[in-house]
């Protein structure tokens, strides 16, 4: 590629140093892709589609893309990398959960998880480097937020995980429950989910895609206005503002009423039932009277409560309740007509369970690991 050609090329959405990644290329508009390929002396749209198809099939080595002319394959090898992210760590848990620590060209790191269960393969996606919400029980926010992930970086998480699958496996579900607050990065997340959902992308059913939020009312209403068919989960975690303010600090700015009203609006506009997530922390929000109060708060709403017993985060003082209290909490809700289940813990032995994901800087805090 000559310098002259390079100067004609549109800016690729890469952060930091390193050659442009082809996944980043898929996030460009068709016009940008066209001019890029024209600068390489190629007819564009066909080539982009061909390369995209190879990626979707799991082939990311340009040399193996046999329907691309050898000359162009050479140019691709010389000028691009398939992914902008590097896998720094790949951990496997005893329950077949796998976790990747990915590093982007600007050295920022995130974690992405693959969970397996009864023929399902679920990817837990991160949307930010760190998290700015500061929930007191969660590892991801210990060091605050550093930046949003770009659309193509979220796409890369999916493609990197996809490469771990065994023959016959496919990504069936996505939960946006990794590091970060998804609704604080909605504009970059949605194109990545739409691509994952589309037939020319990963073809994952929209009904199997869940976005989990700490509960940002304005953003929930904005998401509802896009009329996307995705499932919404709201991290309620407490039956009263008094308790919620203590464990989900952002609540002081929003208040439970607005969170619940926004969730109700999402439900009405989307026609999809909202799930309320409720972490159970021993002695904080796990008593039967908390369940009674929660049932009262949710009465009259079509809702499902997903109970998440606290997962240990080293350096944090909280405890997981005893099994008996978890069951009592669930039954107290059910007796009051509130549908409730307890979330299965996945990947705890590799710190891949809910709330255990962190970036490398946080991992390095003495005493935090």
137 near ligand SAH (CB under 6 A): yes
DSSP states of 40-59: TTS-HHHHHHHHHHHHHHT-
- Contacting ligand SAH (CB under 6 A), which of 37, 195, 310, 329? 310
Q: Which of 303, 367, 368 is nearest to 334 (CA)?
A: 303
- Which run of H or of E encompasses 84? none
Q: Candidates 18-26, 147-155, 294-302, 308-316 — which segment interacts with ligand SAH by CB under 6 A?
A: 308-316
- The arrangement of strands across the sheet holding 303-309 comes to 86-92, 98-103, 109-117, 120-124, 173-176, 209-213, 231-235, 274-280, 303-309, 339-342
Residue of 111, 143, 153, 157 marked active site: 111
Ramachandran bin of 131, using left for φ above 0, alpha for ψ from -120 to 50, beta for the remaining angles: beta
For the bound state, the minimum distance from the C-beta of residue 280 to ligand SAH, rounded and expressed in Å, comes to 8
- Rounded to a whole number of angstroms, the distance between the first and last alpha carbons of the chain is 46
Nearest to 225 by CA among 259, 183, 281, 266: 266
Segment lying near ligand SAH (by CB under 6 A), choices 27-35, 101-109, 146-154, 307-315: 307-315
Residue 313 binds ligand SAH (CB under 6 A): yes
Instruction: Work out whether 143 is an interface residue with ligand SAH (CB under 6 A).
Output: no
- Residue 135 engages ligand SAH in binding (rule: CB under 6 A): yes
Residue 13 within binding range of ligand SAH, rule CB under 6 A: no
Cα atoms found within 13 Å of the Cα of residue 243, Cβ hemisphere only: 19
Nearer to ligand SAH, 202 or 357 (CB): 357
Binding mask 217-256 for ligand SAH (x = CB under 6 A): ------------------x---------------------
Q: Which of 135, 153, 354, 360 is catalytic?
A: 354
Q: Which of 23, 214, 220, 338 is the binder for ligand SAH (CB under 6 A)?
A: 214
Q: Applying CB under 6 A, does 210 fall inside the site for ligand SAH?
A: no
Binding letters toward ligand SAH, positions 80-119, x by CB under 6 A: ----------------------------------------
What are the residues facing 235 on neighbouring strands? 277
Q: How far is the CB of 209 from ligand SAH (least distance, A)?
A: 14
Secondary structure (DSSP) of 291-306: HHHHHHHHTTS-EEEE
For residue 364, the 8-state DSSP code is T
The neighbouring-strand residues paired with 117 are 120
Cite the DSSP H helix spans in the chain: 3-8, 22-26, 30-39, 44-57, 70-79, 151-162, 186-197, 217-225, 241-247, 251-254, 256-270, 288-298, 323-335, 360-363
Does 153 help bind ligand SAH (rule: CB under 6 A)? no
| Whether residue 135 lies in the annotated active site | no
Active site residue 323: no
Stretch that binds ligand SAH, among 15-23, 84-92, 160-168, 209-217 (CB under 6 A): 209-217
Contact 318, 101 (CB under 8 A): no
User: What is the spatial distance between Cα 369 and Cα 364, in angstroms, rounded to a whole number?
Assistant: 7
Residue 101 C-beta: closest distance to ligand SAH, Å: 17
| Nearest CB to ligand SAH, comparing residues 148 and 212 | 212
Please list the active-site residues. 111, 354
| Interface ranges with ligand SAH (CB under 6 A) | 135, 137-138, 177, 181, 212-214, 235, 277, 279, 308, 310-311, 313, 354-355
């Amino acid at each position: 590629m000559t310098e002259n050609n390079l100067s004609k090329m549109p800016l690729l959405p890469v952060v930091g140093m390193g050659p442009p990644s082809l996944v980043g290329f898929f996030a460009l508009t068709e016009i940008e892709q066209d001019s890029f390929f024209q600068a390489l002396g190629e007819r564009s749209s066909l080539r982009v589609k061909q390369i995209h198809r190879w990626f979707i099939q799991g082939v990311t080595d340009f040399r193996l893309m046999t329907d691309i002319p050898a000359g162009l394959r050479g140019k691709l090898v010389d000028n691009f990398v398939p992914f902008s992210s590097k896998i720094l760590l790949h951990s496997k848990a005893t329950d077949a959960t796998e976790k990747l620590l990915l590093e982007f060209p600007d050295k920022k790191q995130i974690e992405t998880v693959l969970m397996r269960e009864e023929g399902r393969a679920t990817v837990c996606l991160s949307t930010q480097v760190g998290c700015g919400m500061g929930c007191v029980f969660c590892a991801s926010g210990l060091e605050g937020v550093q930046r949003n992930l770009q659309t193509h970086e979220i796409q890369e998480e999916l493609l990197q995980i996809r490469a771990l699958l065994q023959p016959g496996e496919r990504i069936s579900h996505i939960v946006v429950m990794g590091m970060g607050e998804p609704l604080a990065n909605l504009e970059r997340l949605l194109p990545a989910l739409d691509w994952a959902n589309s037939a020319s992308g990963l073809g994952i059913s929209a009904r199997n895609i869940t976005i989990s939020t700490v509960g940002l009312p304005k953003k929930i209403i904005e998401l509802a206005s896009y009329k996307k068919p995705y499932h919404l989960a709201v991290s309620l975690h407490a039956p009263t503002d008094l308790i919620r303010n203590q464990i989900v600090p952002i609540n002081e700015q929003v208040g439970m009423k607005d969170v619940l009203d926004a969730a109700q609006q999402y439900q009405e506009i989307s026609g999809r039932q909202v799930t309320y997530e409720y972490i159970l922390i021993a002695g904080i929000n796990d008593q039967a009277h908390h369940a009674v109060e929660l049932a009262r708060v949710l009465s009259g709403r079509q809702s499902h409560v997903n109970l998440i017993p606290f997962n240990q985060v080293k350096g944090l003082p909280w405890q997981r309740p005893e099994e008996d209290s978890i069951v009592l909490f669930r039954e107290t809700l059910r007796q009051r007509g509130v549908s409730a289940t307890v979330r299965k813990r996945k990947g705890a032995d590799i710190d891949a369970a809910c709330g255990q994901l962190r970036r490398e800087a946080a991992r390095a805090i003495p005493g935090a690991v």
